[in-house]
Every structure is written in C-alpha cells, then in structure tokens.
Amino acid sequence: MTQKKSEKQYLEKLRQLVAYHQHQYHTKDAPEISDQAYDALVRELGTLELKLEGKLSRVVEGVGGASSAAFSKVKHIVPQWSFDNVFDYQELLAWEKRLERYLTKEGLQESNIKYVAEHKIDGLKLVLEYRDGILIKAATRGDGEIGEDVTHSARMIKTLPAKLKYPVDLICVGEVWMGFDEFAALNQTEQQAGREAFANPRNAAAGSLRQLDANITKARKLSLFCYDIDLFEAKNLKLPAPTSQLEELKMLEKLGLPTNPYSRLCPTLFEVETYYHEWQKKHETLPYGVDGIVIKVNQIKIQQIAGYTAKSPRFGIAYKFPAVETTTVVEGIELQVGRTGAVTPVAHLRPVTIDGSTVARATLHNEDQIKRLDVRIGDTIILRKAGDVIPEIVAVLVELRPDKTKPFSFPKSVAACGGDGRIERVPGMAAYRCVSLDSDFLRRQQMYYFVSKNALNMDGVGPKIIDALLDFNLIKDVGDLFILQAQSLLLLPGFKTKAADNVIAAIAAAKQVGLARLLTGLSIDQVGEETSLLLAQNFKTIDGVKMASKEELVAIAGIGAVVASSIMAWQKDKESQTLLTKILAHITIAPVAEQNQIGSLSGQSFVFTGTLAGLGRSEAQTKARQFGGEVHSSVSSKTTYVVAGANPGSKVKEANKLGVKIITEAEFLTLLA
C-alpha cells in the first residue's frame, strides 16, 4: 500500500471519528472525550484535509449539531456561531494580522482596536429572547440555525430573570454551567440512587437543562452568565443601544441579567496575554470550569465590518489554556527499570505539546493497564498531563487503529535487571520487578538517588560525578563517598582544585542527616519519602527501624502489608545491612523532632499540589506537620484541605468531586497563625 493511499484511508477514518464526536457533543450533549482531545482531532483533520484535498470539509467547518426530536425546534432569529481557537500567543498575533488585513480590504484603516477578554466558561450555550421585558423563549444553539426550545427548564435557573428591569425587546446569549460543589452533590445523589455518575460538570449541566421535568432542573441548581446581545430594541425608553462589547455587558447587568465579573478591557494583545496568563494560573480556584479566554473586538462598529466566516466571527477568537489532554501516536513501548528494581512500561510517543511542554513519553503504569486500554504500537491515543504528574495514556481511539497491529505482551527479561535479566510479577500486585538486583545499572540508579536533594542532598554531586567516580574506580558504593579525598578527585577529567574541594565540602555537609532522609536514600523497595517520614516518627532511630516487627509496621497508619514485607526483606538482606553499617560509620543522624500533636492544625489533613511560590511544597508539608497536621499524597473524602499552587493538576478536580475545600498558599499560612 502506498503512503498516499494509507493517508487517505486514515483521513476517512479520522473524518468519521470527528463527525461522531461532534454529534455526541452538539446533538446529544453527551461528549465521550474531553474538549481538548476533540480540538486535537479537529486540528489534525483540518491539516490532513488541506494537505490531501486542498480544502476543509463540512465536518471541520460545521458549527454545531442537529436539534433533538425530544424538544420542539426553534429557528434562531439571529444565527449562532462558534469561535475559532488559538493555542499560543503567536497564533493570537496571526489572528490579529488577518483581522487587520480584512478590515483594510473593507476600507477601514483602524489603528485603535481594543479588545475585551472574558472567561471561556465550560458550559452550554443558551439563547434568550425577551419581549417587552418578559422572557418568552430559551433555546439551545443546535446547529446554529435550529435549536431546541428549553424554556420550561431554563426558567428553573435561579439567576435567570423571568422579567427584566426594563420592558425592552432583547435577544441575548449566555452560558449555562454547574458549579463544582453542585456537581459533587449531584453525583453523590446519583450514585446513592444506583444511577451512573456524570462524567463532568458540562455534561451534568446539559443533561439538567434538557429535562422534560423542570423540577429536576430546579433541584440541580444551574447557574448562568450572559455575555452577548444579538438584538436590542429600547422602544420609547431612554436606553441607548450599546456601541461596544463592554457596554453590552453593562447593559445586560442594567437589565438584571447575570454576567461574569472578570471581563477586562485590553487596549492591546499584550494586555490580553497578561489576562490570559493571570487566569491560566488561578482558574482552578474558580467555582466553575474555565478552559481558556474569549477575546472580542470591543467596538461594535468594527465587529459589524469584520463580520463572519462560514463558521466563526472574524472579530473574536477563543484562546485555549494549554491542553492537559491531547492526541498523539504510540511509536513504541519499552520496559523501564527503576532504582528499586520495579519494572514500568513506558510508551514512546510522536512528540506533542501538552500543558505547555513537549512530551515524547508517557507511563503505562503496569501490565493490567496495558490490557485494560489495549494499547498497541501504532495506536492513536488520548494523552493526559496534569501539573507535575507524569503524562499518562487514558484512552485508545480504536477507530484509528492501523491494520495488523498486535497486542503488547510483557517480555520475560529486561537487560537493565541483574543476572539473566529475568523479571517476575509481584504476588498480589499488577507490578513487575527484577528477579536479581545485581546489575551495574541498578547500582548507579540507587547511588544517584542517595546523593539527590530528596535524600542526603549532596549539592553538586550528581549522576555525572557518580559515573566518573565509578568509572575511575574511586568508589564502589555510596559508603566510599565519605572517605574520598580531594586529591583523588583531581584524577578525573576536567577536575580542578576548586571543583574537587566543592565536592568534598558537599559530602561533608551531608554527614549530618535526618533519619527520614537517610531511609529515603537507602532505596528500600516500597519506601519513599512519605513512608520514610512515618518510619522516622514512629521508631525514632535507625536501630528501631532495623528491629521493627511486621506487626509493629502494619500497625502504623499508611503502612500496609506489602510495604511491611519489603522492610522486613531489607532487614534480612546481608548486602543492604553491610552497606548501612558502612554509611553509619561516617554520618550523624539528627534527633527526630517530635510531631506536634496539639498544634493549630491538629486533627486536620492536607494534600499539597502545584507550585507554591513562597514556601515550596516540601517546606509547606514540613510546616503542616510541625503544627500537628497530617500530610498525604492523594485526596480522599477525609482530606481537610487541598493547598493549590500554580498548575495544580488533577488533585484539585478530585477535591471538587469529593467536596474537599481548596485553599491557596496564603490561606494555608493564615492557618499557621
């Protein structure tokens, strides 16, 4: 099969898939993939259509979907449009250049274009018609020309007035949304009743508005923001028609309609970019979903001259936040070996930009996950990245799967493992591990971690220096680091006296270490930073950890049978204990500070996520413990607070689902007072 024929076949598959998801979103209000994944598919389709056919199809150009037969059809007096999208500042500048060229072509030499930036609410578009100030119709967008009459249920939206403050004729547009708190409460009710939970707040809002029984809509507490005026007739009233987007918003407020309080006039795109980054950082703290901003030319005179394309207004654009979900292709799958011998499958991907960075790898977690998703080499997949979390594959678009792909099966050996490289599945778990840990690769990985900032924090002693020390036989294990001499380091290529002295000083500074950091650096299987802290707090000394029984270990909240078994195996491993003895001969373990049980945070549990600008996450966690709080790595219904910094990721969404309160770093600091 030629490459061109293969591309055409893929194009048809992709077009059918986009049309299907377009129908699910616009017609059924039941999207199966995220807006971001859908956007990625549409962009790929448009690129491929232009390449192979020289034009865009109606699937790419389409505005919406057909109206449902369950509701009476409404022909919109004013056609409804959807905005085109841009995804970075360069694309935004290019949009402005296109707009300026079009205005020049139409004879308008306008050098003073201003913009209004608003939140792009993740909800359902609603078109409202008032006559003499009385609400007579509420309709969904539908395909832009024909929508659905949902007046009976829209009247149940508490913030939607049945009567305006002035008896004007008005057609306006708004977004119906469901707050995160209301969404969590609704899903709890649905699950208690044995019904399936809604996937996200937008689905819940759409499903709630499209109820034949308006009482159901009322119980679900929908909200509304109005943002546009399509028709305005003041009749004999002294209400001047708006001449700008900002005046439209003020008029909507004056009439008694709800508007979003965060719109902003921006004289240039630079101010738009500032607004964008401001809300990109803090939109997760809002009570409703926002996936970007909408930018419109402020002057209505210019809007009217700019007009519309077949799909979208030329005078406005949606500027999406960096995608946390997108689509790409799996180009390979390999098994990665960690420092403790854990074997993790990793997908090699066609590089793609997600959440502001280029990603070429994603975790597949374990064998069961691969089987559940049926991930194969060559598959088009949906990729998710949240905050600092490693990107993961969340779904396979089987409709785009190439012919003759084969299911992935775990090999029986991995070269990075010791001995013959054999791997085995951990009893009772989905994880694999090396049968033998006696390999140069694993020893180096463990040594890298021992000197890292999470463990003994030998500042300036990184993997390259460890490799050089091993390659020149200056050390055999981490215990040898403590007896290194500066003179020996001068034998290494490129090392000068100052560099050698810096390394020796960093090692000397690490000889005074906390018990938790030491335990973290020993690379005990299943024992990370949180478990090391638990061990240090409960046993106080390294001898206490060495002598702990399984019963004592599992009695600690947060340490289960699997972790306890790993610690017991480490206690009995002669090589591990010999190395520990060697290390202990050169270090001093600082006394374990007593955790404050009656501090201001006593009885409260915290999860920290995102980048904390002031304290940093580790210091914030330490302070929470010092004041009697508990710190956990995952959100549960028992979590008291999630402290969210910049780019917080999925933990904020999980908190919203569970009804856990989300606070900022500043609010956390006030709790310490």
What amino acid positions are annotated as catalytic residues? 120
Q: What three-state secondary structure class fits 623? A: helix
Q: Say if residues 631 and 669 touch (Cβ distance below 8 Å).
A: no
142: its two tokens: 């539908």
For residue 23, give the H/E element and its range.
helix 3-26
Can you name the residues that pair with 512 across neighbouring β-strands?
Answer: 588
**In whole angstroms, what is the distance from residue 588 CA to residue 448 CA?**
21
- Name, in order, each residue with C-beta under 8 angstroms of 148's C-beta and a sequence gap of 6 or more: 67, 68, 70, 71, 72, 73, 74, 139, 140, 142, 210
Q: What three-state secondary structure class fits 220? A: coil
- Name, in order, each residue with C-beta under 8 angstroms of 413's C-beta and a sequence gap of 6 or more: 420, 421, 422, 423
Enter the DSSP assignment of 422: B
Residue 622: CB atoms within 10 Å:
15
Strands 342-354 and 325-337: antiparallel
| H helix runs in 335-424, sequence order | 367-373
Neighbour-count burial of 487, counting CB atoms closer than 10 A to its CB (0-12 exposed, 13-18 middle, 19+ buried): exposed
**In whole angstroms, what is the distance from residue 610 CA to residue 612 CA?**
6
Strands 512-514 and 588-590: parallel
Buried b or exposed e, range 221-243, using 16+ CB within 10 angstroms:
bbbbbbbbbbebeeeeeeeeebe
**In whole angstroms, what is the distance from residue 369 CA to residue 293 CA?**
35
608: its two tokens: 């920290």
**Dihedral of alpha carbons 418, 419, 422, 424, sign:** negative
- Name, in order, each residue with C-beta under 8 angstroms of 603's C-beta and a sequence gap of 6 or more: 628
Q: Could you identify the residue written with the tokens 């232009």? A: 50
Q: Say if residues 443 and 339 touch (Cβ distance below 8 Å).
A: no
How many CA atoms lie within 13 Å of 315's alpha carbon, on the beta-carbon side? 20
